[in-house]
Amino acid sequence: MRREFKPSTTRPEDFSAFWHSTRIQLEQINPEIERRPHVSEGLPGISAEIVSFLSLGHVRVSAYFLQWQDEQPRPLVINSHGYGGHCWPRWEWA
């Protein structure tokens, strides 16, 4: 069965107020950032870590952090898997 969802193209009336309130709430949170090595067969010259921080509702948000082990400037890519999704290191993006 194919489902289609067509969102509204206009913002709700409380859009700005919602995000203003959300930013204020986030500023009050100590993110308690954690970093730990991720053992993997990744790519030579790239280290991997699992990083996490506290967010709204005392929820811990986790991600993979891949970093080249040289001094070359490189872009930062952030990828989120979304609610209930799966996440794995995206070595090809490093």
pLDDT digits 0-9 by tens, 26-44: 999 999 999 999 887 777 8
User: Residue 54 carries which DSSP code?
Assistant: E
Place of tokens 């794995």: 88
Which of 11-15, 23-27, 41-45 has the least mean pLDDT? 41-45
Contact present, 36 and 63 (Cβ < 8 Å):
no
The more confident residue out of 79 and 38 is 38
Does position 54 have pLDDT exceeding 90, yes or no? yes
In which order are the strands placed within the sheet that holds 34-37?
34-37, 46-54, 60-68
Predicted confidence at residue 31, as pLDDT, reads 96
Residue 8 to residue 1: CA distance in whole angstroms: 23
The more confident residue out of 84 and 69 is 69
Residue 61 to residue 50: CA distance in whole angstroms: 10
Predicted confidence at residue 32, as pLDDT, reads 97
Place of tokens 């913002």: 11
Rounded to an integer, the average pLDDT of 21-26 is 97
